Chain A
Amino acid sequence: MHPAHFTQQLVCPDCDALLEMPDLREGEKALCPRCISPLLTNPRNSLHRTAALAMAAALLFVVSNCFPFMTLEAGFRHSQMSLWQSASGLEAEGYPYLAGAVSIFILAAPTLLIGGLLYLLLPLLWGRRLPGAVTLCRWVLATRRWNMIEVFLLGALVSLLKLGKLATLTLGISFWAFGGLIICLTAALVSIHPRELWARLEMPES
């Protein structure tokens, strides 16, 4: 039995319609009949797929933090920027709050998401739940909206064009790893529904 069927009643979070839990087949999704908000999905192999994507995201995140993100050349001068330097540069210029916000959006939030997903999902593959899983799951779900890595990538592309007239910018390994990270992390977050994650955490042995 699919764990999402554990509770019999389904309530729409957007319009509070009280519904019966539908019997979704793999690949189907349920919309609220009253306000047409998406309610429930049942992706194929969600647990294994999400765990695999989260592991790939973890590797790519490490790579994007170990190599230069962008290199700038103007005449004989040359400077490099790693991912975290985009935040620390603001701090050095006297904008600690802005630096804090940027580091939350592109460093802290993805770290918590990837680490949290691995901590929750890997034990679930063997039907176990590690201590603190419920608290961590709340944090992981709340962090999703503050993860802005894809917006940062758009910002990087705009910066390329902005500086293109003044200097030569080249993209580093970190940039490409970051692009891969966006794909893997977004796919990981889409391939498991929060309702399913909670249901599985509640009864890990099923």
Chain B
Amino acid sequence: MKAFAPDSAAARGLALCHVCYLATPVNAGHCPRCGSRLHLRQRESLQRTWAFTIAAVVLYFPANLLPVLRVESFTGDYQNTILGGVAEFWQHGDYPVALIIFGASVVIPVLKIIAISALCLASRTGRRARTMTRIYRITELIGRWSMVDIFVVAILVGVVQLGSTLSIHPGAGALSFAAVVILTMFAAMSFDPRLIWDAAARAEDPPQL
């Protein structure tokens, strides 16, 4: 049996349409305004969130170990991983750029994976529901900025077409990294923050046996 907080819409059998935000009795089946299927909570939210998160963690290793960029120039060839690119900016004294790339490509994905795991745990304990809901909203907002490194690769590959003088090629790391970003976005989309509030209500008022 699922217990909902007494002041929640679900406790009255009302479902919020996830597409058009209309509150409708859940036994109507479909939203009368936009026709979407109605559910009190996202289906298999935790299973899907964990699945996407674990896939992202697995791909995080090739994303960081494989090169994202290969540069061929008359002075010689070299490869760059994501961290290598950060180190290069740092050595050239471009500290702000190094920090932006480090933040977007390393800190945000790692924090996002930790945050999503913490949210999944919080949806069982229900502790600190308000803080956790805020973490959920921030997680949804910032994930996209990790894509900046992929766009740098795309732009460099697109603009540098100088034949034998200088050429830039994408590396397999770029593909894995893009997959990590997209998977963590799917993970955040699959998570239903209302589960945290359901758990909080259960913890406050345990069901009588």
Contact = CB atoms under 8 A, between A and B. Distances in A.
A198 B162 contact: no
Per CB-CB distance, the 5 closest pairs between chain A and chain B, nearest first, are A155-B151, A89-B158, A81-B159, A86-B158, A11-B16
Given A90-B157, A95-B174, A161-B89, A17 B151 contact: no
B165 A75 contact: yes
Given A16-B194, A75-B165, A151 B9 contact: no
Interface stretch (A46-54, A55-63, A165-173): A165-173
Interface string A85-108: 111111001010111011001100
Interface stretch (A22-30, A120-128, A134-142, A182-190): A134-142
Interface size class on chain A is: 35 or more
Interface in A131-166: 134, 137-138, 141, 145, 148, 151-152, 154-156, 158-159, 161-163, 165-166
B170 A90 contact: yes
Nearest to A88: B158
A89 B10 contact: no
A167 B165 CA distance: 11
A89 B157 contact: yes
Interface in B50-101: 73, 85, 89, 92, 94, 97, 100-101
Interface string A7-40: 1011101111110000000000000001111000
Contact of B8 (A17, A70, A134, A152): A17
A173 to B, nearest CB: 15
B157 A15 contact: no
Contact of B133 (A15, A156, A169): A15
A70 B22 CA distance: 46
Given A86-B158, A151-B151, A198-B33, A15 B19 contact: no
Contacts of A89: 154, 157-158, 161
Interface in B103-142: 104, 129-130, 133-134, 136-137, 140
A163 B19 CA distance: 44
A16 B198 CA distance: 9
Contacts of A194: 20-21
A98 B154 CA distance: 9
A77 B134 contact: no
Interface of A: 7, 9-11, 13-18, 34-37, 70, 72, 74-75, 77, 79-81, 85-90, 93, 95, 97-99, 101-102, 105-106, 134, 137-138, 141, 145, 148, 151-152, 154-156, 158-159, 161-163, 165-167, 169, 194-195, 198, 202
A15 B14 contact: no
Contacts of A158: 97, 100-101, 148, 152
8 contacts: A34-B7, A36-B133, A72-B159, A74-B166, A101-B182, A148-B144, A165-B92, A166-B166
B181 to A, nearest CB: 9
